[in-house]
Amino acid sequence: MDVNLLTPSDQRPGPIFIGGPDRCGKTTLQAFLASHPNIAIPAVGSNLWSYFYRQYGDLRSQANFERCLDALLHYKHALFLKPDAERIRREFWQGKPSYARLFALLHEHYAERLGKPRWGDQTGLIERYADRIFKAYPDAKMLHMLRDPRDRYEASLEMWPDGKGRVGAATGRWLYSALLALRNLARYPERYMIVRFEDLVRNTEATLQAVCRFLGENYTPEMLAMAGSPGHRSKIVQGTENAGEAVSLSPSFIGRYQGKISREEIAFMTAYAGRQMAAFGYRREPLSFSPVEWTRYAFINHPTNLVRMTIWLTREALQQRFPGRARRRPSQAMLLPSGASDTSVQSKS
C-alpha cells in the first residue's frame, strides 16, 4: 500500500471526511459544518480519492507526480479549491510524497485562504477508502451520511430520470455503503460516526451538537444559518428568509418514495437490503401482489435488476482493486479541454 503516514500536527486539528451515497444529505451536512468558524469544507465534492488515487503510479517519481498534478489542474472540482500549482510543487517534496499528501495540500491551502484551521472534504462513497485515509491522516474523522434507500432512490430518479441502473444499481450502491458503514464503525469507533439524514431533518440542532462533540469542536448556533454555504442555503429556503435566520429542513423529504416508486422496486430493494435497512431503523412495509404482478416481478423485474446490481458491484470491486486499470473517471463535462487553463491556477513557468 502506497499511503504514507502524515504526522499529526499539534497546531492543526485533523481533517473531516463526509461520505455516503449520493442524495443522502452530504451537501446539507457540509453546508452546516462549513458555517463553523473552524471548519472549511468546499461546497462541491472533490472526488480526489475516487478519480486520482493510485491512478498515476508511484508519486515518488517526479514524472508521475507531474502527470497527476496536471490531471488535477484540468478537473473542475479540483479547480474549485483554487490550487496554486507552484506552491503545491514546492511543498509536496517537503514531506513524504504520496497521494494523500497531494490531496491534503489542496485542501489545506483552501482552508488557509478562508482563515480556518481545519479542512474537510465531502465525497460520495469515500467510506470505501476509510482504511487508507485513517492510515494517512492519523487524526482524521469520518462522518457517514445514510438515508432510507427508498427515499434515496426516489431522489436519484428525480435528478437522473434516465439512469440505466434503476433499482438494481441503486440497491447495490446503498447496500455497499451501508455494509461499509457498519464495518468501519466497528473498526474505528472513535473516529467514525454514522449520521442518518432523517435525524438531521427532524432534530437538526441536536444532531449537529452530537456531530460537533464527535469532531471535538464547540457547537455554535450560527451553523444553523448556513452562512458558510449560501448557495445551498438558497436552494433550501428559496430566498424567502433572512440570511441570518436558522435553516429549517422540511420533513417532506422523508417518506417521499411512497406512491412514486413501484411496489416491485420496493420489493427488490427490501429483498436484498432489508436486513441492513432494519439495522439503521428503516421499517419495511408489507407488500401484496396480484398474480400478474408477482409473475412480472419474479420473471422480469427481479432477474433484470439482479443483473444490474451484480454489474454495479462487480465494476465497483474491479475499480477499487485495480484503480490504475479499471479507472473511475470524471465525466467530460467536468474536465477542461486539453491545453486550456484556468485563471485561478498558477501554471508551471
Domains in the chain: boundaries: 16-38+117-326
The average pLDDT across 153-178 equals 93
Please state, in angstroms and rounded to a whole number, the distance separating the CA atoms of residues 182 and 95. Answer: 34
The average pLDDT across 296-325 equals 96
Whether residue 18 has pLDDT greater than 60? yes
| pLDDT band of 175, cuts 50, 70, 90 | very high
Please state, in angstroms and rounded to a whole number, the distance separating the CA atoms of residues 243 and 234. Answer: 9
The average pLDDT across 238-242 equals 58
Average pLDDT taken over every residue of the chain: 92
Q: Pick one of 3.40.50.300, 3.40.640.10, 3.30.70.980, 3.40.50.720 as the CATH number of 16-38+117-326.
A: 3.40.50.300
Contacts of 5 (CB under 8 A, 6+ apart): 96, 135, 136, 138
The average pLDDT across 9-38 equals 91
pLDDT digits (tens, 9 = 90+) for 263-285: 999 999 999 999 999 999 999 98
| pLDDT band of 185, cuts 50, 70, 90 | very high
- 56-60, 147-151, 158-162, 284-288: least confidently modelled range: 158-162
Give the pLDDT confidence score for residue 21 in this predicted structure: 97
pLDDT digits (tens, 9 = 90+) for 78-100: 999 999 999 999 999 999 999 99
